[in-house]
Amino acid sequence: MTDAPAPLADPHLVYDPVAGDGPKDVVILGSTGSIGTQAIDLVLRNPGRFRVTALSANGGRVALLAEQAHRLRVRTVAVAREDVVRELREALTARYGAGEPLPEILAGPDAATQVAASDCHTVLNGITGSIGLAPTLAALEAGRTLALANKESLIVGGPLVKGLAKPGQIIPVDSEHAALFQALAAGTRADVRKLVVTASGGPFRGRTRQELAAVTVEDALAHPTWAMGPVITINSATLVNKGLEVIEAHLLYDIPFDRIEVVVHPQSYVHSMVEFTDGSTLAQATPPDMRGPIAIGLGWPERVPDAAPAFDWSKASTWEFFPLDNEAFPSVNLARHVGELAGTAPAVFNAANEECVEAFRTGALPFLGIIDTVTRVVEEHGTPAAGTSLTVPDVLEAETWARARARELTARTASAEARA
């Protein structure tokens, strides 16, 4: 184990691109999403620690983006949708005083990548989906500390990310990986026997595969613990999200897949655990609140006081743990298989899932059809050629094929159901 490659995320190593006094300059990608809005709340409560220099968003919530830019007094606002630039400029003008300079506006599909490489200390990548890959690579190449909440960019571009990242340059922001990151600080890599990733079980914990056949979009969006965006919430219902996290844990910590376990923990108090060779298990626990992991991503190696609520130990509570039902939720084992295939297989898995989730949301695919279709796309993709070097064009080509194939299979399913 000691001769394994160095992990991407190592709590013992601190990468500091801009050492010095004063608040850290931060760029927030995906500022109007769940991670972004909570990060901004954390920044506004800690003005002496953090200063946001740029924001990026897709463009679906222009009024909120303008409000964020004004409150944070950022230098640059980036928006992916060029058709909302006029609306954004008007919204900014309405908030800024007369004669007060407006922030620079960048627009287009590469806008987030541009601000990811801008002058700052830390880039928080809170974008959802594999479109976060280019900004992830840009931030690493520019030498920024990367607070990574966009797991998809690591999963689809693992070798590319690993080829660019310097020791300690990536700090994970997913609650599970922030938990592993903190627990791993208690020992050396040679001490680690197993990583235990916890899962809430989602809204359908305890149901059989047969009982999942008729669930609706509304059912899938009713997560019992976390308030997240619709794609991540549905991924949590299928447990695809947990499968992605298994791949992410393997890439971040260089622990083999057979030593990464998933355990269902409905309360979501324990965010993950590390089992050491002496039999000890260290668990990282907090009430469910993403501001804690965000604070680790932005502040490490320092902790941010009162970043998130703590437990009230004067009150009784029960913490439960259950084995994962792989028959009802086969997505985790499929993800392990995809991770072991490596190459473009993770990109195919992720892209096909994104298409199937959207099809489910629009009523074109039943709930069980999500993972069934993803499985078929992965099988048709086959085994990546051994020894080949992954490139960005490889990832994009694989994603394009996977999305097209998933849409074809979804259309067939919809047609068959219409005839039935």
> Tokens 């069980």 identify what position?
368
**41 known member of a binding site:** no
Q: Do residue 188 and residue 306 come from a single domain?
A: yes
Torsion of the alpha carbons at 284, 176, 256 and 1, rounded to the nearest 10: -40
Of the candidates 148, 177, 206, which is a domain's last residue? 177
- How does pLDDT run across 128-141, given as a tens digit for each residue? 888 999 999 999 99
**31 known member of a binding site:** no
Of the candidates 131, 159, 177, which is a domain's last residue? 177
> Would residue 347 count as lying in a domain?
yes
**272 known member of a binding site:** no
Q: Do residue 376 and residue 318 come from a single domain?
A: yes
**60 known member of a binding site:** no
Binned at pLDDT 50, 70 and 90, residue 389 comes out as: confident
**211 known member of a binding site:** no
Q: Do residue 276 and residue 320 come from a single domain?
A: yes
Q: Do residue 212 and residue 358 come from a single domain?
A: yes
Return the closest-CA partner of residue 244 out of 334, 164, 369. Answer: 334
**317 known member of a binding site:** no
Torsion of the alpha carbons at 262, 266, 272 and 277, rounded to the nearest 10: -60
| Torsion angles phi and psi, residue 107, rounded to 5 | -140, 150
Most confident of 15-24, 202-211, 406-415: 202-211
Q: Do residue 118 and residue 206 come from a single domain?
A: no
Local structure of residue 191 (DSSP, 8 states)? G
Q: Do residue 183 and residue 169 come from a single domain?
A: no
Q: Do residue 343 and residue 203 come from a single domain?
A: yes
- How does pLDDT run across 89-124, given as a tens digit for each residue? 999 999 998 888 999 999 999 999 999 999 999 999
Q: Provide the number of structural domains found in the chain.
A: 2
Longest CA pairwise span in the chain (Å): 68
Q: Do residue 92 and residue 110 come from a single domain?
A: yes
**242 known member of a binding site:** yes
User: What pTM, to 2 d.p., does this model score?
Assistant: 0.92
> Would residue 414 count as lying in a domain?
yes
> Would residue 5 count as lying in a domain?
no
Cβ contact 215:278 at 8 Å: no
Q: Is pLDDT at 334 greater than 80 in this prediction?
A: yes
Q: Is pLDDT at 2 greater than 50 in this prediction?
A: no
State the average pLDDT over residues 267-279: 97
Q: Do residue 235 and residue 356 come from a single domain?
A: yes
pLDDT of residue 229: 75
Q: Do residue 157 and residue 264 come from a single domain?
A: no
β-pairing, 24-29 vs 50-57, is parallel
- How does pLDDT run across 217-265, given as a tens digit for each residue? 999 998 777 667 788 889 999 999 999 999 999 999 999 999 999 999 9
> Considering the chain, what is the average pLDDT of its residues?
93
Torsion of the alpha carbons at 313, 317, 318 and 321, rounded to the nearest 10: -50
Q: Is pLDDT at 1 greater than 90 in this prediction?
A: no
Q: Do residue 173 and residue 212 come from a single domain?
A: no
CATH at 136: 3.40.50.720
**245 known member of a binding site:** yes
By the 10 Å C-beta count (0-12 exposed, 13-18 middle, 19+ buried), 57 is classed as buried
User: How many whole angstroms from its chain centre is CA 198?
Assistant: 15
**350 known member of a binding site:** no
Q: Is pLDDT at 388 greater than 80 in this prediction?
A: no
Of the candidates 125, 147, 177, which is a domain's last residue? 177
Q: Which residue has the higher pLDDT, 388 or 44?
A: 44
State the average pLDDT over residues 386-405: 88
Q: Is pLDDT at 392 greater than 80 in this prediction?
A: yes
**200 known member of a binding site:** yes
**82 known member of a binding site:** no
**174 known member of a binding site:** yes
Q: Do residue 214 and residue 67 come from a single domain?
A: no
> Would residue 10 count as lying in a domain?
no
Bridge partners (DSSP) of residue 57 are 79
**32 known member of a binding site:** yes
> Would residue 397 count as lying in a domain?
yes
Instruction: For the chain, give the percent of residues with pLDDT over 90.
Output: 86
> Would residue 415 count as lying in a domain?
yes
For 415, residues 6+ apart whose C-beta sits below 8 A from its C-beta are none
Binned at pLDDT 50, 70 and 90, residue 384 comes out as: confident
Helices (H), 10-99: 34-45, 62-72, 85-95
**279 known member of a binding site:** no
**382 known member of a binding site:** no
pLDDT of residue 416: 66
Q: Is pLDDT at 3 greater than 50 in this prediction?
A: no
- How does pLDDT run across 148-196, given as a tens digit for each residue? 999 999 999 999 999 999 999 999 999 999 999 999 999 999 999 999 9
State the average pLDDT over residues 197-226: 90
Q: Which domain holds residue 62?
A: 24-177
> Would residue 285 count as lying in a domain?
yes
> Would residue 290 count as lying in a domain?
yes
